[in-house]
Amino acid sequence: MSFVIAQPEMIAAAAGELASIRSAINAANAAAAAQTTGVMSAAADEVSTAVAALFSSHAQAYQAASAQAAAFHAQVVRTLTVDAGAYASAEAANAGPNMLAAVNAPAQALLGRPLIGNGANGAPGTGQAGGDGGLLFGNGGNGGSGAPGQAGGAGGATGFFGNGGNGGDGGAGANGGAGGTAGWFFGFGGNGGAGGIGVAGINGGLGGAGGDGGNAGFFGNGGNGGMGGAGAAGVNAVNPGLATPVTPAANGGNGLNLVGVPGTAGGGADGANGSAIGQAGGAGGDGGNASTSGGIGIAQTGGAGGAGGAGGDGAPGGNGGNGGSVEHTGATGSSASGGNGATGGNGGVGAPGGAGGNGGHVSGGSVNTAGAGGKGGNGGTGGAGGPGGHGGSVLSGPVGDSGNGGAGGDGGAGVSATDIAGTGGRGGNGGHGGLWIGNGGDGGVGGVGGVGGAGAAGAIGGHGGDGGSVNTPIGGSEAGDGGKGGLGGDGGGRGIFGQFGAGGAGGAGGVGGAGGAGGTGGGGGNGGAIFNAGTPGAAGTGGDGGVGGTGAAGGKGGAGGSGGVNGATGADGAKGLDGATGGKGNNGNPG
């Protein structure tokens, strides 16, 4: 078998002869079919009719067998024809490389390019340019894709006839490679490579520009520009934390007491504000107490507490001072009013507000009114609101009203996102159409701008103070209402808009992320309990929770750019991605 050879020409000739024989046999069978398959009876008797039917059935059986033989004959012809083509292709392939190498060798040695043949493709991840095609005929090689931060390789050009190679895609944050130029006489320009997507830390998060499409020659279409890369997303905002504490600011002094005479006890002094980073505000001083033993018609009021000082950056506000208490023993027709608690100091940036002071207690007067609790201090940016002070209690006496609990402080607003999202890369320009006939390539679509960072969550609202209790031996009195919970902090502002991409069909940058949702308001304070030997009064109602902040809206996509010279208008840019919604604020503490 090692000496058996095949000659494609002889096999093809044999297949042609067999096809001719098949055609002749088919023609003879068709001519005989009309005369033999429908033989007429010679007479009307049964014998003649049976003889005619016998000859007709024999002819029909012959035609069926001939059809099967013709199908087998056709299969043999097809097999020989296919085998002849395969042998001929193998012989041409074996002879082709040697012939092509002999033709290309002089041009390669003299000009550095082959005369006929396609250029080599660039390796992926290297940004290597595609090889040029043959001077006479051949396509340019495709450019290799780039590594992160590296541009894609340009597509190879071609000579007289052929298509330019496609540009390679850019690595992260880098531009796509340009498409190769088409053949001078006829061919299509290569398409530009896509720009790399923006990544934080590479080229400022900008998306890479798409590569320009390759130009056509005399006849042909220019290549399409590459799509620009999407910009990197912005960084989410973070609320500031507490600073390292230092010695707090000075506290306010307590008020002077009042004994045995009508009037108001001295008020507490305000606490000092924190002046340094991490310095907490000073606590307010407590109001002075009032008291009397015996006497008729004496009216006394406890001193009001001093306000807490504001905290420095990163430090909490000082607590408000407590209101002074009033105690009457054996007095007739007297009135006792407790001092009100003071407001807590506002917190510095990232810190909570101070607690409100408690209202003063009262006892023993004919008419008793307990002091109200102070409002909690507002939280700094990203800080929680301070709790409201507790209302004062009526400890004893025939008639009395307990004090209302103070409102909780408002939570601080969340920090807005300030990091700029990366700009989407511009779309590549479309290649020029042929000088005589051909369309320009479409401009590439601009990259989508990066999503803006989300605003930080709003802070927790302070809880309302508890209402004071009443304990009277005679008719029931109404307890004080619980204070309202503080409002939830506003959500952080939305991120700065991504800028518009430039170039052909440049898409608009995406809009920054939505602001963080406001924190849920703190729960209302509990109403004061009533202890009564007579008919009980109504308990105080809990305060309302605070309102959450509002997030920001997403943005719209950009308009499409123009196409290449003499080309159709590029497609509209892709719609910018909506900004991500900021995180929801934490719930307020219960009253």
Residue whose entry in the numeric block shows the structure tokens 């016998």: 54
Average pLDDT, 10 consecutive residues per value, the chain (591 residues): 70 85 86 82 84 87 89 89 84 68 83 88 94 91 93 92 93 91 88 87 78 85 85 70 82 92 93 90 94 86 94 91 90 85 90 92 87 91 87 83 86 65 66 67 66 61 62 42 42 36 37 45 46 36 40 37 35 38 42 42
Q: How many CB atoms lie within 10 A of CB 537?
A: 17
Give the global pTM. 0.50
pLDDT number for residue 45: 86
How far does CA 386 lie from the centroid of its chain? 34
* Amino acid letter for position 555: G
Report d(CA 27, CA 354) in Å as an integer.
112
pLDDT number for residue 464: 67
pLDDT number for residue 384: 86
* Amino acid letter for position 483: G
Instruction: Out of 1.10.1370.40, 1.10.287.850, 3.30.360.10, 1.10.10.10, select the CATH number for domain 8-102.
Output: 1.10.287.850
Domain ranges within the chain, ordered by starting residue: 8-102, 368-413+444-493+509-591
Candidates 309, 258, 322; CA nearest to 280 is 309
Report d(CA 264, CA 337) in Å as an integer.
9
Quickly list DSSP for 72-87: HHHHHHHHHHHHHHHH
Distances in Å between the Cα of 235 and the Cα atoms of 201, 457, 469, 551 are 12, 14, 50, 17
